[in-house]
């Protein structure tokens, strides 16, 4: 069975600085998707960035980028120029190609200090 682990329950960053959130996963599948979702206090889960496992190039979306290390099964999220609106719970998620279900990590609460 696949598992996703986020080892940092809480992180904080100064506004305009850069922060990296860690995620590791375990799987025997070769084809899958990885995602980072953001859940602000309003509770709606918002997709931040996605990575297809077959792509070697790391995904980038504006200030958000990932460091995808397939062999190490690592998928970290880097947030550059952090903004107050980035404060939220961040979830790393694995989409199984076999079951089609999303497996979430425990989440990392990000605090952005002004």
Partner 1 sequence: KAGVTQTPRYLIKTRGQQVTLSCSPISGHRSVSWYQQTPGQGLQFLFEYFSETQRNKGNFPGRFSGRQFSNSRSEMNVSTLELGDSALYLCASRRQTGGTGELFFGEGSRLTVL
User: Which residues contact partner 1 (rule: CB under 8 A)?
Assistant: 31-33, 35, 37, 42-47, 50, 91, 95-107
How many other CB atoms sit within 10 Å of the CB of residue 32?
A: 19
Q: How far is the CB of 50 from partner 1 (least distance, A)?
A: 5
How far, in Å, CA of 40 to CA of 26, rounded?
Answer: 27
For residues 11 and 108, give the distance between their C-alpha atoms in angstroms, rounded to a whole number.
7
Which CB, 14 or 98, lies closer to partner 1? Answer: 98
Q: Which is nearer to partner 1, 6 or 82 (CB)?
A: 6
The answer to whether residues 21 and 76 touch, using CB atoms and an 8 Å cutoff, is yes
Minimum gap (Å) between residue 55 Cβ and partner 1:
13
């Amino acid at each position: 069975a696949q598992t996703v682990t986020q080892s940092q329950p809480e992180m904080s960053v100064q506004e305009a600085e850069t922060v990296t959130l860690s995620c590791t996963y375990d799987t025997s599948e070769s084809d899958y998707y990885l995602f980072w979702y953001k859940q602000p206090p309003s509770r709606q889960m918002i997709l931040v960035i996605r990575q297809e496992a077959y792509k070697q190039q790391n995904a980038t979306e504006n200030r958000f980028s990932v460091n995808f290390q397939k062999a190490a099964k690592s998928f970290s999220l880097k947030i550059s120029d952090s903004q107050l609106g980035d404060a939220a719970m961040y979830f790393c998620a694995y989409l199984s190609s076999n079951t089609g279900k999303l497996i979430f990590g425990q989440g990392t609460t990000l605090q952005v200090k002004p």
